[in-house]
Each structure stands twice: as C-alpha cells, then as structure tokens.
Amino acid sequence: MTGIDPDRSTVSPAPLADDLRSDDARDFPSRTDTIGAALAGAIGGPVGKHALIGRARFMTPLRVMLIIALLFLAFGYSTKAACLQSTRTGTADQRVAIWENQRAYYELCYSDTVPLYTAELLSQGKFPYKSSWTEKDSTGAQQIQYDGTPAVRYMEYPVLTGLYQYVSMALAKTYTALTKLVSIPVVAEVVMFFNISAFGLALAWLATVWATTLLAGRRIWDAALVAGSPLVIFQIFTNFDALATACAAGAMLAWSRRRPAVAGALIGIGVALKLYPLLLIVPLVILGLRTGRMREVGKTAGVAVVTWLVVNLPIMVLYPRGWSEFFRLNTRRGDDMDSIYNVVKSFTGWRGFDPNLGFWEPPSVTNAVTAVLFALCLCGIAYVGLTAQRRPRLAQLAFLVIAAFLLTNKVWSPQYSLWLVPLAVLALPQRRILLAWMTVDALVWVPRMLYLFGEAKMGLPQEWFTATVLLRDIAVIALCALVIRQIYRPELDVVRRGGVDDPSGGVFEHALDAPPRWLPTRLRPTPPAQTLEPEKELTLT
C-alpha cells in the first residue's frame, strides 16, 4: 500500500484557467526536427503534449529570436573588433584604425566601412555625390581611363546608402567635437563612424528577423535560422546590405498583409539602398499573371517607382554626375573574384570574355553574357511559376530569382549572400540543409581573406579560394533544385501541410488560377484542374 489516492492523477492540482486556447497548429521543432530536439534537451526537453502553445507573456518566439539575433550580431561585431583598434595620440580625428601590414586580411576582420571613410572623402566632411576625387596609381600619379580622360570618382552607392554614410559621418564628427569639450572616452573618428553605422545595420537586421518571423506563419521557429545564421557572423558589418534586406523583408510582409502600396514604398526605398529589392517585382508579376491579380501587382510596382523617384530626384537634379556613378561603376566593373566566371578562369587559364581592356573600359561582352544568362533564368523561373500544377509560393519564386541573379552576375560580393538568408528560410525551411549551406557560404570568407593576404605571406593560393566559391555556388544551385522539386511536388512542402497555402502570398493566397486569355496554352497551369479551396478574406490586426 502506498497511501496514494488512485484518482489523484486525474485531478488538476489547481483550478484550470478560464482561457484554454492553444495554437496547436504551430510547428514544434523540439518534436519534429533533429536540431530542435537536440537544442531543446539543453533547456528542459521538448514541449509537453498538454502545453498551451502561444500563451507565453514575455518569452515569446519573436523575442527569443531577437535575443538570438542580438547574440549573433555581437559575434559579428567581435569578428571586426581587431580592425577597430586605434593608434596614434591626440584628438579623435587624429587617430586611425590599425590596418598596417594588411592586418584586416590575416585577422579576418575586413569591412568596407573603414576604408570608405577616407576613400569617399567622408573623413573630410564632404557631401556624397557633390564631391569627387581622381584615382591614382601606386606611385601617386593620376590615372587616365581608356578614353584619355582623367579617372574621376564619386560616391559609388545608391542615394540612401550614401546618405546613410553621410549621417553616420556627421554623428561621428559630433562625437569627436564632444570629446574636445567634455571628459568622455576618445575614440578614433573612423572607429566611431563604424560603430554608428554598425548600430543602424544591427537594427536593420533585427527588422529583417522580425518581418521574417511574421511571414513564417505557423512555422515561426524557422526564422531562428535568420537570427542565428552563420553568415551574420562574418558579413553583417562588412557592408551596408542589411539596410536593403530589412526593406525587402518588410515589403514581403506588407504584401502578405495585403498592403500593396506599402510593399511598393518599401521596395522603392530598398532600391534606393541597393538594387536587388527591385527583383521582388518579378515573382509578383509571375503570380499576378497566373492568378489574374495584376491590378495589385501594378499598384505595388507603380508606388515603388514613384517612391524611388521621390528619393532620388533631389540628388539626380542637383548632382547628376555624382548620382549616376553607381550605374556607371556597375557597367565598367569586370568579373569579380567571387563570380563563377573568375572560378572558371582560375582553374582553366581562360582570360575571360574581355581580356584586353583599357583602364575602366566597360567589359561589353561580359555585361551582355551576364544579362542574357539572367534573362534565360528568368524565363525558366516564369515557366515554372506559370505551368506548375499548383501555384508556387511567393517566397519560392523570390528565392529562385535572387539566386539566379547572384549565380549569373559578374559580381557576388560576400555580403550579398545575406540577401538569400530570409528568402531561403521562407522558401525551403529544411533546417539542416539551410544550416549546411549557410556554414559553407560563411566559411568562404576565410580563404578569401587569406588569398588577399598573399601566398608569399603564408596566405592561400587562388585555387583554394575559388574552390570554396565553387562549393558555395553548387550549394545554392542545390537549394534551387530542391525548391523547384517542391514546387512540382507540393506534398513535400512542409509549409503547406495542414491546409496552409502561402503565408506570404497576400492576394495570391487561396486564389484560383485565372491567367489572361492571351497567354499561350503552353504557359498555362498543367492539368488536372485545381483543388484549392476558394479565396478567403483575411482579417488584419
């Protein structure tokens, strides 16, 4: 005899709550995912069978992911810290960051932000797009471009990114002035410029995590891969791309909430920061044609154009030569060291499409080849999007478009991979697969830096670097293949389980196919007829 009441186990030790609602449709990684189960073991194990889901008052999934993001942003700052140590004495504007002997390469701490402060005349307080400088060779002599004119440079970034740098510079100089008036720590002005820029970039990435979390729907924990992506560690503070990822993710969130005008405004702002958010219009057009919802797509595209013009027009009118530098630079750049074209050159000895160019002469053949390859990829994506038996999700097509752009483009700067992170998580929420790709992509940074350091200084030969680039490209191609496979076999798409259609689809969600009459039969959805339930109106809160 134990003396225990046999009926005691069936009685609650306390009165039940009045509200027993539970979000049981939510995905539980601690039960369904190997990585999630392993991590859950460190904090008490998987969620209980009788737990009320979605009722936490403070540690909500969103707040947990923002905490994870803050941790990884701190890791990202730590990887740049070695390049933020300053030298010299005197006032803040007399001190500089220690970059001697190519320290940024062997310490793996390179960031464009530090050299840009001097190179683009920000250290002198000059206004971007108004001020210019001439390129010089290693001897200090003025460079002459291929057409015989001096090589004159201006701010090379789109308008809002240039203004972001200008505001960061103004704040850094304000801090420098304060150090001369009150007793506060004296920090090298260029380091303060980096810190202020990094703070804004961190906020932008937190906004990216927030938007992706809301877009993930019932699979809210998928966004943890955005918050804790290995790419954040090396690339979040390498350049200013996080600003554009925030706008792109925000635009997709606005579209999912059926706010096409807001989505267009965010795309327009994103294009004024970095060109890639413009590519989000492509999947919208494809799905708009398939569902007959081109009116909403047109509204988004129109607002995007107007917003971009409003932002750019003042600089375009006042400083047209400086404003156009971004576009001019992109036409004259050759194939970058991270591009697939350079990979081929490094292993074959091929000299490229334009082997004998003068200084700053545009690589016309390379430009044409990349444009044609990308156009062919877009045609293929459009065919998949229009003819698949079930309408693809918006995130799936958006990922394919951005990935195709990066794979065919002549430039794939390492921080560009951040563009793919939120889209990959939404398009293909296979956590182990995505984590493997992100790790490979992040580690490309190490051989890249050691290659730039120089083989003669115990760095790495070019082939070690280009081999890792090739592995990254293969990984991204594999992700594209998996996304296309799930488009053609939607029963494999974990997002669509349980009757879910497209959490980011907006007006496309639950929409039946209604392509225009002029669309050829071969570009219409593949039979059999659709079995999707009729469109449901969403209630926005």
Q: Band the pLDDT of 2: cuts 50, 70, 90.
A: very low
Q: What is the mean pLDDT of the chain?
A: 89
**Percent of the chain whose predicted confidence (pLDDT) is above 70:** 87
152 or 39, greater pLDDT: 152
What is residue 280's predicted lDDT score, i.e. its pLDDT? 97
pLDDT band at 537 (very low <50, low <70, confident <90, very high): very low
pLDDT value for 22 = 62
The torsion angles phi and psi of 134, rounded to 5 degrees, stand at: -105, 140
pLDDT band at 377; cut points 50, 70, 90: very high
Is it the case that residue 161 has pLDDT exceeding 80?
yes
| Segment 107-148, tens digit of pLDDT | 999 999 999 999 999 999 999 999 999 988 878 888 999 888
The packing angle between helices 294-318 and 260-271, to 10°, is 30
pLDDT of residue 434: 96
pLDDT higher than threshold 80 for residue 40: no
- Identify the H or E element spanning 296: helix 294-318
> Residue 292 and residue 205: Cα distance in Å, rounded?
34
Q: Which of 526, 511, 495 is nearest to 221 (CA)?
A: 495
Phi/psi region, residue 265 (left: phi>0; alpha: psi -120 to 50; beta: rest), is: alpha
Give residue-wise pLDDT tens across range 311-354.
999 999 999 999 999 999 999 999 999 999 999 999 998 998 99
Tens digits of residue pLDDT in 497-509: 888 899 999 999 9
In this model, does residue 518 exceed pLDDT 60? yes
Q: Which helix (H) or strand (E) holds 86?
A: strand 86-87
Three-state SS for 120-146 is: CCHHHCCCCCCCCEECECCCCCECECC
Buried b (16+ CB within 10 A) or exposed e, 32-46: ebeebeeebeeeeee
Q: Which pLDDT tens digit goes with each residue over 186-219?
A: 999 999 999 999 999 999 999 999 999 999 988 8
53-95 pLDDT per residue, tens: 666 677 788 999 999 999 999 999 999 999 998 877 788 888 8
Contact 399, 421 (CB under 8 A): no
pLDDT at 37 over 70: no
Within 278-416, strands assigned E span none
378-406 pLDDT tens trace: 999 999 999 999 999 999 999 999 999 99
Half-sphere exposure of 515 (CA within 13 A, CB side): 18
Residues 167, 174: contact at Cβ < 8 Å?
no
Q: Tell me: the pLDDT tens digits for 422-477?
A: 999 999 999 999 999 999 999 999 999 999 999 888 889 999 999 999 999 999 99
pLDDT at 36 exceeding the cut of 80: no
pLDDT of residue 23: 62
Instruction: Give the phi and the psi of residue 531 in degrees, each rounded to 5.
Output: -120, 15
The predicted model gives 44-51 an average pLDDT of 64
pLDDT band at 101, cuts 50/70/90? confident
Residue 88 CB: number of other CB atoms within 10 A?
Answer: 10
Q: What is the pTM of this model?
A: 0.90
Helix (H) or strand (E) holding 96: strand 96-97
Radius of gyration of the chain (CA): 26
Segment 215-225 shows an average pLDDT of: 91
Distances (CA, A) of 403 to 381, 399, 477: 11, 6, 8
- CB distance 249 to 208 below 8 Å: yes
Give the contacts of 173 (CB within 8 A, at least 6 positions apart). 93, 125, 189
Angle of helix 420-427 relative to helix 431-443, nearest 10 degrees?
160
For 264-322, the pLDDT digits (tens) are 999 999 999 999 999 999 999 999 999 999 999 999 999 999 999 999 999 999 999 99
The full DSSP string for 472-509 is HHHHHHHHHHHHHHHHH-GGG-GGGGGG---TT-GGGT
Residues 6 or more apart whose CB falls under 8 angstroms from that of 116 comprise 122, 165
Q: How does residue 536 score in pLDDT terms, banded at 50, 70 and 90?
A: very low
Looking at per-residue confidence, does 254 or 138 come out higher?
A: 254
